[in-house]
């Protein structure tokens, strides 16, 4: 199954930088060396077995934007599954950015009216004071441009975990069986007496699904798996965990993998036994990693690893 993902926004807004961090494992520090994208750079990223992301990184210089909106209009805007539009929060041409954005929405309305739309208010690290207020102001401004659309707007930066939160949400909408995965993860978490189980995509380390209910998992939507669990929810330590834990884990593991590659090592798995919890991160399938968090000190990591091995076939 192929899903076309359009990555658009003004030149220098950070599109190629985020693509290279998420999909090519490059560190943020190297993005300053990236040149401007000429026309469209297409990449096919195999994501979870059958799901292929057909990523169109559209260079944002005016001449290219004008051509997308005229001669290349049908080619660019047809069969789009997701539009990701990136805004540089520090842009000196905010009015022009908005005008192009409106024109792109029009193209999308014409050729792919059902496409999901994600807006990234990017380079938030450059906002020194009043980050929250600045973001909300921009979000409201973008929503006003298209009041009839339901938009998902995220504040992002390549220098923190916010990029992973946004992209995990984007990818989550593209995975057709995300709810079934969550149900299986809930069952698996119960079998392991785990507080929480999280499934990551292997290359990007984006979160695909978690065992937790949506109430304790603000970043991603919908899990069907937890029925009759409301009473247990209040006792679940997952409810008191940091709400940014998923994207922070993605970011940390990606950085760790990068360090391993620099010393020619290969990342396979991770085990941590701390005073109040145990964590095991291991391959689940050839496209995924699973992280199990347990707060019961009597549960051995070897048992968790055995459970992962036994559950593999179910998740293939």
Give the binding range for ligand GTP (CB under 6 A) out of 154-162, 227-235, 237-245, 270-278: 154-162
CB of 12 to ligand GTP, least distance (A): 4
Around 130, how many Cα atoms within 13 Å sit in the side-chain half-sphere?
6
Give the binding range for ligand GTP (CB under 6 A) out of 4-12, 97-105, 177-185, 199-207: 4-12
| 41 alpha carbon, distance to own chain's centre | 20
| Closest alpha carbon to 288 in 266, 270, 311, 315 | 315
Determine phi and psi for 172, rounding to 5 degrees.
-55, -35
Q: Which of 5, 16, 212, 281 binds ligand GTP (CB under 6 A)?
A: 16
CB of 48 to ligand GTP, least distance (A): 25
Closest CB to ligand GTP among 12 and 237?
Answer: 12
CB of 127 to ligand GTP, least distance (A): 10
Q: Are 77 and 27 in contact (CB under 8 A)?
A: no
Contacts of 291 (CB under 8 A, 6+ apart): 197, 198, 200, 249, 279, 280, 281
CA 86, 89, 90, 94 torsion-angle sign? positive
Which residues in 28-87 contact ligand GTP (CB under 6 A)?
31-32, 34, 36-37, 59-61
CB-based burial of residue 276 (10 Å sphere; 0-12 exposed, 13-18 middle, 19+ buried)?
exposed
CB of 109 to ligand GTP, least distance (A): 23
Whats the size of the chain, residue-wise?
316
Q: Are 39 and 59 in contact (CB under 8 A)?
A: yes
* Alpha-carbon gap, residue 193 to 252, rounded angstroms: 25
Q: Which of 106, 125, 136, 283 binds ligand GTP (CB under 6 A)?
A: 125
Closest CB to ligand GTP among 61 and 179?
Answer: 61
CB of 16 to ligand GTP, least distance (A): 3
Q: Which of 6, 127, 158, 170 binds ligand GTP (CB under 6 A)?
A: 158
**Rule CB under 6 A: is residue 162 a binding residue for ligand GTP?**
no
Give the binding range for ligand GTP (CB under 6 A) out of 14-22, 112-120, 180-188, 194-202: 14-22
Residue listed under structure tokens 């995965």:
181
CB of 124 to ligand GTP, least distance (A): 7
**283: enclosing H helix or E strand:** strand 278-285
Footprint on this chain of ligand GTP (rule: CB under 6 A): 9, 11-17, 31-32, 34, 36-37, 59-61, 122-123, 125-126, 157-159
């Amino acid at each position: 199954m192929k899903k076309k993902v359009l990555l658009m926004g003004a030149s220098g807004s950070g599109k190629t930088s985020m693509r290279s961090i998420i999909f090519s494992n490059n560190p943020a520090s190297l993005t300053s060396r990236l040149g401007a994208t000429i026309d469209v750079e297409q990449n096919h990223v195999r994501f979870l077995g059958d799901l292929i992301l057909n990523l169109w990184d559209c260079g944002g210089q005016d001449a290219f934007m004008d051509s997308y909106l005229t001669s290349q209009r049908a080619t660019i805007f047809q069969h789009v599954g997701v539009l990701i539009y990136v805004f540089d929060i520090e842009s000196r041409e905010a009015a022009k950015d908005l005008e192009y954005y409106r024109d792109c929405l029009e193209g999308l309305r014409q050729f792919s009216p059902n496409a999901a739309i994600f807006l990234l208010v990017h380079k938030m690290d450059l906002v020194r004071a009043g980050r929250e207020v600045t973001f909300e102001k921009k979000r409201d401004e973008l929503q006003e441009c298209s009041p009839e659309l339901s938009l998902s707007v995220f504040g992002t930066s390549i220098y923190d975990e916010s990029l992973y939160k946004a992209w995990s949400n984007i990818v989550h909408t593209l995975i057709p069986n995300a709810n079934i995965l969550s149900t299986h993860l809930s069952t698996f978490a119960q079998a392991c007496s785990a507080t929480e189980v999280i499934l990551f995509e292997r290359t990007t380390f984006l979160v695909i699904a978690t065992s937790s209910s949506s109430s304790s998992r603000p970043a991603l939507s919908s899990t069907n798996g937890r029925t009759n669990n409301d009473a247990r929810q209040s006792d679940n330590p997952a409810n008191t965990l940091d709400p940014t834990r998923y994207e922070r884990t993605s970011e940390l593991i990606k950085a760790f993998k990068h360090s391993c590659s620099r010393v020619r090592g290969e990342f396979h798995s991770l085990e941590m036994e701390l005073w109040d919890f145990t964590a095991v991160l291991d391959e689940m399938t050839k496209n995924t990693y699973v992280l199990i968090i347990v707060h019961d000190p009597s549960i051995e990591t070897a048992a968790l690893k055995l459970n992962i091995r036994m559950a593999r076939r179910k998740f293939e």
